[in-house]
Amino acid sequence: MEPDLTSITGVTKQVCAQCGEALEFTEEVFLLQIVRAHEVHGQLSLHLALDDNGDFLYEPHFIHFKCWEEIQEELEEELENEPPILAPYGVIDCKSCGGGIQPSEVLGALALGELHLSKRAPTSTGRGEDFEEAGDPFLFCVYCLNLVNDNWLEFWKDGISETGECMDCIQSRCWRLRATIHECPCLCHTEVPSEEE
């Protein structure tokens, strides 16, 4: 017997990454996407961070409004005694730690909005879902994203980084040093030869 689809009216196919509950149409939710910022003629634009095949470099996640509020509160407590890491060419300040984010660095864009039934049915499976943003997203540096990922909610199994840095290197933003003087004392993001070689 076919399930009664009317019993799930109002429920989307998306779930909250924090609590695992289904999201409902038109309720306020957050969408966390990993992007890169680019400045063109003084205007800042955000582009999804994609790999060479055009796939997400880091999977996006939906989160209930109340679930993110709890995480944000704890994150702010964690960071209250840490001074922000400034960026010499920063174009954005992180919403949580106040640290600077430079062009082309990966960052998190947390957009508040609602899920709606798509106006089109692009496939035979029926109409999909569209996320409609309400205002500009909140922007988070890679360090704060890793704090959330390590302490409260594992969005990405291996965390998020510029080029494979460990948490200490992410906090110090060592990739900026490598970009200017082409060397860095850290070894975590380079291939370490095995003892057999």
| pLDDT, tens digit (0-9, with 9 covering 90-100), for 130-171 | 999 999 999 999 999 999 999 998 899 989 998 888 888 898
User: In the chain, what are the domain boundaries?
Assistant: 5-160, 163-192
Does 182 score more than 70 pLDDT?
A: no
Task: Return the sign of the alpha-carbon dihedral for residues 135, 48, 179, 186.
Answer: positive
From the list 58, 70, 66, the residue with the least C-alpha distance to 21 is 66
- Report DSSP letters for 89-144, one per residue: T--EE-TTT--EE-TT-EEEEEEEEEEEE-SS--BTTB--EEEEE-SPPEEE-HHH
Q: What is the pLDDT of residue 5?
A: 35
Return the DSSP state at 56: B
